Chains A and B, each alone.
Chain A
Amino acid sequence: MDFMPREASIIRTLVELADNLVEEYDVVEVLCNLSDRCVETLNVDSAGVMLASASGDLQVVASSSDAMRSLELFEIQANEGPCLDAFRSGEPILNHELLQNDLRWPRFTKRALDDGFHSVHALPMRLRGRTIGALNLFRISQGSLTANDVLAAQGLADVATIAIIQHRASLEAYELNDQLNQALNSRIIIEQAKGKIAESAKVDLDQAFVLLRNHARNHNLGLTDLCRYVANGTISSVSIDQFTPPTPRR
C-alpha cells in the first residue's frame, strides 16, 4: 500500500493500539508509544497523556520528553492549564497561543514560556460521555494545527481511550462479572417474590412490588433480603404488610 509517511505512521499506531486489545500489555507503555507517535506524525514538539485516578485526580502517565513531563506535573500542582481544562470540560482546547500576562492560566503560561513552548493543545479522552483523561500536545513555535492534525490526534486519543477502558475492564473482569451475576440473581429473587405476593394478596405484580418495598422499609430490611426470605418461604407471603397508599392531599 502506498501511504504517505504520516498516514502510514498513524495507521501503525492504530494497529499497535488495536493489537494491545488482544495481547497482554502494559498500559503505560501503550501511552508512551502514543505520545511518541504524536510527535512523529503531528506538527507538535512534545506530547503527553494524563489519566484520572479512581478518585478523579489527574496523573501524568506518559510524556514524550522530560521537559514535557515536568511541565505537566507543574500544571497539576498549580491546578491550572489546558490539560486540566480539557479534562474538566470534556472539550478540546486547540491552538491556544501562549502570551505573557495570560489571564486564563497565569502560572502555567509563565512556566511553559520559560520552557520554550509557545502554543498548546489538549484533547479530552472520552468514551460514552465520560472523560478519563487528556492528550496534551505542545509546540515550540506559534501557529495552528491543521484540521487534519486535529482529526488525527483525536483519532489517536479515541483509540487510546478504548485501549485503557478495555484494559481496566479485563483487570476488573472477575469483579465485574461477579457484580453482574449478583445483580441478576437479586433481580430474579425479586421477580419470584413479586409473583408470590401478587398471588397471595391478589394484586398485580407492580402492586406486589410496592408491598414488598413498603414492608422492607417498615421492618428495616434490605429489599433483596426480604425478597429472598419470601421466595424461599422463610417469611410467609401472607405476613407481608398490606399497604394502603396515603390519599393525596387536595
Chain B
Amino acid sequence: MSDNTNRLTKILSLLATSQGSGIGGTPVCEVATHVTGCTGASIMLLSDDHSKGSLCRTDDVAAFIEETQYALGEGPSIDAYLSGRSVLAQNLRSLSVPHWPVFTPLALDKGIEAIFSFPVRIGAVRLGALNVYRSETGALSTDQRSDALVLSDVAARTIVSLQAYAAPGTLSQEIENGANFHFVVHQAAGILSEQLGISVQDALVRIRARAFTDDRSIDDVATDIVNHVLLFDNDLSNEDKD
C-alpha cells in the first residue's frame, strides 16, 4: 500500500466525516486546517494570472487573505498558482527575500504570522490555490505538506467534476454556492465607469486603489458604490472626496 494511498484514504475519510461546507458542500477548508495544524484555510480560483475569487474559506481572516490578493494582485496564492509549486512562508516577519511588499504588512496587521499556499491543479491544468495560515510562526512538517498536496488534488478534481454537471456556458451551481466571485465589484465598476466616463477597466483600478487607501475590503467599497453611498470625484487631483 503506497504512502500516497494511505494519505488519500485518510483525506477522503476526513472529508466524509468532517463538519463544514466547502466546494460542493465538501469540507475541504476545514480538513485542510485540521491536517496542517493551522488556524484557517481558503481556496482561491484563478485564471489569466488573476484571482477570480474564493471558493470557500473557514473564517474572516481566511477571507481577508483571498480578498487582499484579489485587490492587490500579489501574494502567496498567486505565486503558487503561477509557479505550480508550494509557497511556504513559515515566518512572515522574516522572509528570506522581499516578498509581497504590500500584502505582507497587511497580513501581519491581521495577526497572520505564517502562510502556506499549494497549487490546485490537475497535471498541467491550473485551477487555483489552497491557502492555510497560522497565527503563530512555524514550518509545516513533511507529513502536513504531503497531506495538503493530496487535499489540493482532491479539491481540483472536485471542481472539474462539479463543472462537468453544469449546463453549457453556465457556472456550476454547486461551485457558485458558498463562493465569492466579487460580482459586486464588477457591478460597481460598471456604475463608476458611467459616472466618470471612464472605461470599466479603469474603474476597477480606481475601486482597488480606493479600498487600499481607505483600508477597507474591496467588496465593502463596491457595495457602497452600488448603493450610491460612496461617490467618486472625477477630478483626479482632488481624488475621492465623499
Contacts and interface: CB of A to CB of B under 8 A. Distances in A.
Contact of B199 (A128, A179, A232): A232
Contacts of A177: 47, 125-127, 160, 163
Interface in B189-236: 189-195, 199-200, 226
Given A22-B150, A166-B161, A191-B183, A180 B190 contact: no
Contacts of A170: 122-123, 157, 160
A166 B166 CA distance: 16
B186 interface: yes
Interface string B161-202: 101111011111001000001011011111111110001100
Which of A169, A185, A187, A237 gathers the greatest number of chain B CB atoms within 10 Å?
A169
A106 interface: no
Given A170-B122, A237-B194, A183 B166 contact: yes
A183 B160 CA distance: 13
B200 A231 contact: yes
B1 interface: yes
B2 interface: yes
Contacts of A22: 4-5, 8, 150, 153
Contacts of A199: 190-191, 194-195
Contacts of B150: 22
A18 B160 CA distance: 18
Contacts of B153: 22
Interface string A188-202: 110111111111100
Interface residues of B, number: 49
Interface string A150-161: 000000000000
Contacts of A232: 199-200
Contact of B171 (A14, A19, A173, A183): A183
Given A173-B125, A174-B125, A180 B163 contact: yes
Given A22-B5, A168-B164, A170-B160, A193 B190 contact: yes
A146 interface: no
Contacts of A194: 187, 190
Interface of B: 1-2, 4-5, 8-9, 12, 45, 47-48, 52, 122-123, 125-127, 150, 153, 156-157, 159-161, 163-166, 168-172, 175, 181, 183-184, 186-195, 199-200, 226
Given A173-B125, A195-B188, A232-B200, 15 more contacts: A22-B5, A166-B161, A169-B122, A169-B157, A174-B125, A179-B166, A180-B171, A183-B169, A188-B183, A191-B187, A194-B187, A194-B190, A195-B186, A196-B190, A232-B199
29 contacts: A18-B12, A19-B1, A19-B5, A21-B8, A130-B165, A168-B164, A169-B122, A170-B160, A172-B164, A173-B156, A177-B127, A177-B160, A179-B166, A180-B160, A184-B47, A184-B52, A184-B171, A184-B181, A185-B47, A186-B169, A187-B171, A188-B186, A192-B193, A195-B186, A195-B194, A196-B191, A198-B190, A199-B194, A200-B194
* List of 3 A-B pairs having minimum Cβ-Cβ separation, nearest first: A195-B190, A199-B194, A191-B186
